[in-house]
Amino acid sequence: MTDEKKIEGLTYEQAFSELQTVIGALETGDKPLEEALALYERGQSLYQYCTKLLDDADLKVQQLNMQGELEDFAG
């Protein structure tokens, strides 16, 4: 199973929390290069996933009709 599949099962809050942990680990600067690169790649995947979830949520908000009801979202 790839990291991408593991990430896709996370909630936004879980993915964002893990992203913060990855950033913290990278900021210490004490990781070997190979581990730092793996963390960076994981962070990029988490960032993209969080961005997608936020974009989808934004589209749902935009899909509210004039009566304040959520219309079907086909995203």
Within-domain flag for 72: no
**The pair of three-digit structure tokens given for residue 62, joined into one six-digit string:** 């935009």
pLDDT range class, residue 70, cuts 50, 70, 90: low
Within-domain flag for 13: yes
**Is the distance from CB of 18 to CB of 43 less than 8 angstroms?**
no
The number of distinct structural domains making up the chain is 1
Within-domain flag for 70: no
Within-domain flag for 28: yes
Query: pTM of the prediction?
Result: 0.76
Distances, alpha carbon 73 to alpha carbons 11, 48, 56, 59, in Å: 19, 21, 9, 8
Within-domain flag for 75: no
Within-domain flag for 73: no
Q: Does residue 1 register a pLDDT over 50?
A: no
Within-domain flag for 16: yes
pLDDT tens digits, one per residue of 9-55: 999 999 999 999 999 999 999 999 999 999 999 999 999 999 999 99
Within-domain flag for 69: no
- Domain range enclosing 39: 3-61
